[in-house]
């Protein structure tokens, strides 16, 4: 079949899947979808043009027209945004073949082309399992790239479907081979896989469920299917108040998740790495010192940030006299305390600064207005202003702008916008003049900055690593030697171990630039209120309905609600800040206590699916999952183990199992039940190129990976990775380059010249992980 006939499929990397027998029905259906989209977009454009040209007399008719324009415009935006990739996949079952989409779509005759993913009919696309097929024979998922289908996967739920398709995903293909076996043992294994996986997928979402499984057990796929199932089984998971967050070890994980679940956006699913949770995570460097990494990973470290921020929120102990054009005003500790009390309990430090500043201005303005100023005696009675004997009060640790810069001073500059043109009525108003005078008063600005400075989250954390005194004061459990080990130059790059402290600092201190943005937003909102008021006045004036319903819009509550709804459509919180109703964490064995705090903060309910393998923890994992997570603050932890390896050949696992048991005797090493018939080979490093060349010549498809040879670059179907980088990936051939047995290849800074760690546990885990990346052949070179 010519390539243009394959549209929208582009399967150059998977030629077997381009067989017309497999995709001809999809191509015909996509042709119908495309025709329907073109007609609908044309109709929407014509309808919108007609509505916009239609004059109205105002009142209810204008109101109804604007609502219809809004509805049609939203539909047009969605259709233009996606195109054919509205389609997520298809299911085949008792109701025939249904194509599932991000929204529903019909043709001119009303025939259903796409079923909305939230509709009950779409539930099997997400929730069906081999143990509970929900009436399905098969399920197909598409991978879209630049509006083309570049790959697809079929899952089979019946024996007949197993033999009718050549595009089975890995798990279905393996299950098909088990189902075809005449061995009673193999059929028992099939039943075990189905039962174990189904129990995990449908487990109660309350608390934390650990999916503990070794290499090749399919634990990640099962966890993702569980999340898909929960989207449908738990209404609160798709209520628009949180959704699900996937946290993985790398960017590649995000693409992998997209193969299992559609990008449902705000509707339900977010994907990220830990580095994505904080702005500084975009550029981090590996922490070479394991001792420093361990100290920063302590679960108590995020609390140090809280202590530092509290130390910058100080009620002055002595009064200060503020000179103004209306006389001197005495600002006492009681006045500070009153202003501090105005801050909302859930405000960040910088948000509270705005609230306290406004309250302080109100207190002082009232005192000036009341003329309750003792110009002579009070200040002498109290003595000179004195701050809390804080040795760092003048150092500016964490102040926005940093040392040597010009931080924002005094009260946050706000461009006032008078929404109802009341400014003219207030001209000459003494209270407003007093307020403006106080805002510009340098003495008051300086006092306010000392009592409650504007803080920069990154500067707060950097201060801990550049001031041993500050760190020792707020982390008293650290020894002097440990404090010294944590010190770094001020321009040092961030490391992954810094992220939990940065996250805590952003959460507690807040955005130092938010005040200026809020000021602009208030001005825009005020402008919207003026415009809304004009619209409402016009609607009321032209209302010719019998009930005069538009007169209800005179109420300020309704006017405010209308304006607020307009603002809500524009301003939305950060998508990764939470809270989320459920979080899936992959490669969870690597997380430190401090990193768990980042995730617990985003999921107060504690509903987690935790995917990991203690045996693959590079820095050791001697505890049980229950103990480790309990120490991190997790409650209600349950564990489900997957023990059958259907990916890694038995020949490879026989060599890998003894390796990991040397450092973790109770490791959950899965039982491999697939044999490749190819024994593990051993050779010398000098044979590397010849081995790879021979394999490429013998295999037209498939991928290979050389692990542990940093001198080699990736090319074509052969990747070159360090052991840690290969985690979670799989290859047909793995060539493992091990360090020299005589130690001559060991390098410095904890690494060898071949990329292996010189730490015994870390190196052993890396070797185990590297060996189990192979799905067919493993060659070990020394």
218 annotated as ligand-binding: yes
721 by DSSP, 3-state: which? strand
Q: How far apart are CA 393 and CA 293, in angstroms?
A: 30
Alpha-carbon distance 11 to 166, whole Å?
14
DSSP helix/strand/coil, 763? helix
| Cβ neighbours of residue 402 closer than 8 Å, sequence gap 6 or more | 396, 456, 459, 462
Report the first-to-last Cα separation within the chain, whole angstroms: 48
Rounded distance between C-alpha atoms, residue 320 and residue 383, angstroms: 9
Report long-range pairs for 334-339 (Cβ below 8 Å, ≥24 apart). 335/360, 335/363, 335/364, 335/367, 336/360, 336/451, 338/363, 339/363
| 217 marked among binding-site residues | yes
Q: What is the Cα–Cα distance from 463 to 395, expressed in whole angstroms? A: 10
HEC assignment per residue over 611-640 = EECHHHCCCCCCCCHHHHHHHCCCCCEEEE
Distance CA 153, CA 90 (A): 11
Tokens of 139: 């399920």
- d(C-alpha 143, C-alpha 258), whole Å: 8
Q: How far is CA 665 from the centre of its chain?
A: 35
Q: How far apart, in whole angstroms, are the C-alpha atoms of residue 433 and residue 419?
A: 19
Cα separation, 333 vs 331, whole angstroms: 7
Tokens describing residue 438? 């106080």
- Is 214 annotated as belonging to a binding site? yes
Instruction: Return the SS3 of 533.
Output: helix
**Is position 240 annotated in a ligand binding site?**
no
| Residue 223 to residue 218: CA distance in whole angstroms | 9
CB 323 within 8 A of CB 525: no
- Could you identify the residue written with the tokens 């026989």? 654
What are the distances in angstroms from CA 341 to CA 311, 335, 358, 390? 17, 10, 12, 22
Q: What DSSP assignment string belongs to 47-60?
A: HHHHHHH----SHH
- Side-chain-side CA neighbours of residue 727 (13 Å): 23
d(CA 357, CA 448): 8
The answer to whether 263 is a known ligand-binding residue is: no
- Cα separation, 365 vs 324, in Å, equals 11
User: Annotated binding residue at 96?
Assistant: no
Q: 782: annotated binding-site residue?
A: no
The phi and psi torsions of 685 (rounded to 5 degrees) equal -55, -35
Closest CA to 488 of 500, 501, 498: 498
Rounded Cα gap, residues 124 and 685, in angstroms: 50
What does the block give as tokens for 92? 């085949």
CA distance 393 to 399: 11
Q: How far, in Å, CA of 526 to CA of 411, rounded? A: 21
- Asked if 59 and 537 count as a contact pair (C-beta separation under 8 A), the reply is no
Phi/psi for 417 (5° steps) reads -130, 120
Secondary structure class of 425 (helix, strand, coil): helix
Could you tell me which of 310, 299, 295, 408 has the C-alpha nearest to residue 354? 408
Q: What is the C-alpha separation between 103 and 425, in angstroms, rounded?
A: 53
620 is in an annotated binding site: no
- Known binding-site positions for ATP: 213-220
Annotated binding site: 213-220
């Amino acid at each position: 079949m010519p390539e243009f006939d394959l549209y929208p499929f582009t399967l150059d990397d998977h030629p077997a899947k381009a067989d017309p027998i497999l995709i001809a029905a999809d191509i015909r259906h996509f042709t119908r979808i495309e025709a329907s989209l073109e007609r609908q977009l044309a109709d929407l454009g014509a309808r919108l043009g007609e509505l916009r040209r239609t004059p109205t007399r105002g009142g209810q008719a204008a109101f109804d027209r604007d609502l219809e324009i809004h509805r049609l415009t939203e539909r047009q935006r969605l259709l233009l945004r996606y195109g054919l990739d509205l389609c997520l996949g298809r299911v085949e079952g008792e109701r025939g073949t249904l194509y599932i989409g991000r929204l529903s779509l019909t043709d001119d005759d009303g025939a259903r082309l796409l079923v909305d993913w939230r509709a009950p009919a779409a539930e099997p696309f997400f929730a069906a399992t081999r143990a509970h097929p929900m009436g399905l024979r098969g399920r197909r998922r598409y991978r879209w790239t630049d509006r083309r289908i570049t790959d697809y996967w079929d899952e089979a739920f019946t024996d007949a479907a197993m033999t009718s398709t050549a595009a089975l995903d890995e798990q279905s293909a393996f299950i098909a081979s088990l189902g075809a076996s005449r061995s009673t043992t193999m059929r028992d294994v099939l039943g075990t896989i189905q039962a174990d996986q189904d129990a995990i997928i449908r487990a109660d979402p309350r608390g934390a469920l650990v999916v503990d499984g070794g290499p090749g057990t399919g634990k990640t796929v099962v966890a993702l299917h569980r999340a898909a199932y929960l989207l449908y089984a738990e209404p609160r998971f798709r209520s628009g108040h949180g959704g699900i967050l996937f946290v993985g070890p790398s960017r590649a994980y995000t693409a992998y998740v997209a193969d299992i679940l559609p990008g449902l956006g705000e509707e339900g699913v977010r994907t990220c790495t830990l580095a994505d949770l904080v702005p500084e995570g975009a550029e981090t460097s590996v922490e070479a010192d394991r001792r420093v990494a361990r100290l920063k990973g302590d679960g108590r470290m995020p609390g140090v940030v809280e202590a530092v921020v509290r130390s910058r929120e100080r009620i002055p102990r002595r009064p200060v006299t503020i000179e103004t054009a209306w006389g001197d005003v005495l600002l006492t500790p009681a006045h500070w305390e009153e202003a501090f009390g105005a801050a909302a309990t859930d405000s960040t430090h910088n948000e509270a600064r705005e609230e306290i500043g406004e309250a302080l201005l109100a207190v002082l303005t009232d005192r000036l207005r009341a003329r309750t100023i003792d110009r002579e005696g009070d200040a002498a009675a109290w003595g000179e202003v004195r701050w809390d004997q804080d040795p760092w009060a003048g150092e500016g640790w964490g102040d926005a702008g940093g040392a040597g810069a010009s931080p924002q001073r005094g009260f946050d500059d706000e461009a006032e916008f008078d929404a109802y043109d009341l400014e003219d009525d207030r001209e000459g108003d003494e209270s407003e003049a007093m307020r403006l005078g106080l805002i510009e008063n340098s003495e008051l600005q300086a006092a306010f900055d000392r009592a409650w400075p504007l803080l920069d989250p990154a500067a707060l954390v950097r201060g801990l690593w550049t001031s041993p005194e500050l760190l020792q004061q707020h982390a008293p459990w650290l020894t002097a030697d440990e404090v010294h080990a944590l010190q770094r130059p001020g321009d040092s790059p961030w490391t992954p171990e810094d992220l939990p402290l940065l996250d805590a600092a952003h959460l507690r201190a807040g955005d130092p630039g938010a005040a200026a943005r809020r000021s602009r937003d208030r001005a825009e909102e005020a402008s919207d209120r003026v415009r809304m008021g004009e619209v409402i006045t016009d609607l009321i004036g032209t209302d010719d309905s019998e009930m005069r319903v538009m007169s209800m819009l005179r109420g300020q509550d309704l006017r405010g609600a209308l304006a607020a709804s307009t603002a809500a459509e524009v301003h939305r919180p950060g998508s990764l800040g939470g809270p989320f109703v459920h979080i899936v964490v992959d490669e969870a064995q690597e997380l430190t206590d401090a990193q768990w705090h980042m995730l617990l903060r985003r999921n107060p309910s504690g509903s987690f699916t935790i995917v990991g393998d203690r045996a693959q923890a590079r820095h050791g994992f001697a505890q049980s999952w229950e103990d480790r997570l309990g120490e991190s603050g997790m409650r209600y932890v349950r564990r489900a183990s997957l023990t059958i390896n259907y990916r890694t050949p038995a020949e490879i696992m026989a060599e890998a199992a003894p390796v990991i048991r040397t450092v973790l005797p109770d490791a959950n090493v899965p039982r491999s039940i697939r044999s490749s018939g190819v024994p593990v080979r051993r050779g010398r490093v000098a044979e590397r190129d010849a081995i790879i060349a021979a394999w490429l010549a013998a295999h037209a498809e498939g991928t290979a990976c050389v692990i542990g040879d940093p001198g080699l670059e990736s090319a074509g179907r052969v990747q070159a990775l360090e052991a840690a980088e290969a985690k979670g990936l799989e290859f047909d051939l793995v060539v493992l380059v091990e360090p020299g047995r005589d130690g001559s290849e060991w390098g410095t800074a904890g690494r060898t010249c071949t990329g292996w760690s010189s730490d015994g546990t870390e190196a052993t885990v890396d070797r185990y992980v590297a060996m189990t990346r192979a799905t067919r052949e493993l060659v070990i070179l020394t």
